[in-house]
Chain A
């Protein structure tokens, strides 16, 4: 089955510190897309970062970076220099092959950034 697992329901971090959110997934395909989405209290889903599975280099977007371990089927998100505005629900998601449009979501990790 093609699934996404986020094992941390809740995380907290102090402002300016670094936090890592974990995500594992399951697929038998070799080409697929991986994403992290953020859902703040406004409930607007915002794309944080994306990674194509054929790329070995880890994606980076400013303070956000991923650790993509294809063999381990792991896709963790690191947030550096955490800010209060990073407080949100974070969803790991993937499109498990190039032959489908469906985005499969994990259950989410609620991140609280404390001052």
Chain B
């Protein structure tokens, strides 16, 4: 149990376009989902925390108008990178926390390349 999927696994887009990444908890309900960004050979940087049915909470320095997060149900959260630029190229990882549990379960990640 506790499987989290992420789609797509890789995406290449042109500068100025928008990209949507989906994160789904497949076999449990996630009251809270998280979005991280990971640069090469570095740790995970938390971008935002999203709770089902409410607005996401963004970490300091993360532009909420650029990284739109929607948590429409207890099993789905989406991250939309709007007007993407090459500096947005990165590895994006989502995670989900099961209700009543402490640990987070992670999706396999999405590699975004903006050309």
Contacts and interface: CB of A to CB of B under 8 A. Distances in A.
B108 interface: yes
Interface residues on B, range: 10 to 19
A9 to B, nearest CB: 10
Contacts, number: 43
A84 interface: no
A44 B102 contact: no
A111 B93 CA distance: 21
B56 to A, nearest CB: 12
A47 B2 CA distance: 11
A35 interface: yes
Contacts of A108: 42-43
A105 B43 contact: yes
A27 interface: no
B93 A45 contact: yes
A91 B43 contact: yes
Nearest to A43: B109
B34 interface: yes
Interface of B: 32, 34, 38, 42-44, 46, 49, 91, 93, 95, 97, 102-106, 108-109
Given A43-B91, A101-B97, A91 B103 contact: no
Say which size band chain A's interface belongs to: 20 to 34
Interface of A: 33, 35, 37, 42-47, 50, 52, 91, 95, 101-103, 105-108
28 contacts: A33-B102, A33-B103, A35-B103, A43-B38, A43-B93, A43-B108, A43-B109, A44-B106, A44-B108, A45-B44, A45-B93, A47-B103, A52-B102, A91-B43, A91-B44, A95-B102, A101-B32, A101-B49, A102-B46, A103-B34, A103-B46, A105-B43, A105-B44, A106-B43, A107-B42, A107-B43, A108-B42, A108-B43
